[in-house]
Amino acid sequence: MKKLAAAALSAGLLYGGWYGYNLLSRLRQIRTVADLQIISKGLQSSHSKGEKLTAREISEEIKKWGRGLDGWGNEFSFQVNASGSYVIVSPGRDGKLDLSSLEDYFSATPDRVHGEYDRDIFFRDGLPVWKAGN
């Protein structure tokens, strides 16, 4: 009976630990999306329509929120292309970009990454492309 109780307790702790780990990852994912939304709003409100953003302006706005770090403590990456379009990317829990270069994010198609914590979360021109929300 003691062995059965110990096994049940161990299984419960393992499941609880796994669930807690995923809950923490989900909260970090939510925070990252919220930060990207705030950064995007800040960029839109500080800039006139039709004006191109500079890399410096984007960098300064990113650093205002969470010291420029996503929910997992990874630095946001960003790039502005020649046409003035921009991307801001969180590499997710694993800290690695999913695509080979930031330039590739300009042509990436929409996707859902809800619950996939190692996947990147990114916004292009102020809008989510790989969505982590509901």
pLDDT for 63-92, tens place per residue?
A: 988 789 999 999 999 999 998 899 999 999
**C-alpha span between 105 and 14 (Å, rounded):** 37
Those residues with Cβ within 8 angstroms of residue 112's Cβ, 6 or more apart along the chain or in another chain: 130, 131, 132
**C-alpha span between 80 and 78 (Å, rounded):** 7
2 exposure class (CB count in 10 Å sphere: 0-12, 13-18, 19+): exposed
pLDDT in tens, 101-131: 999 999 999 988 888 899 999 999 999 998 7
Full-model pTM: 0.80
Strand extents, DSSP E, the chain = 77-80, 86-90, 111-112, 121-124, 127-131
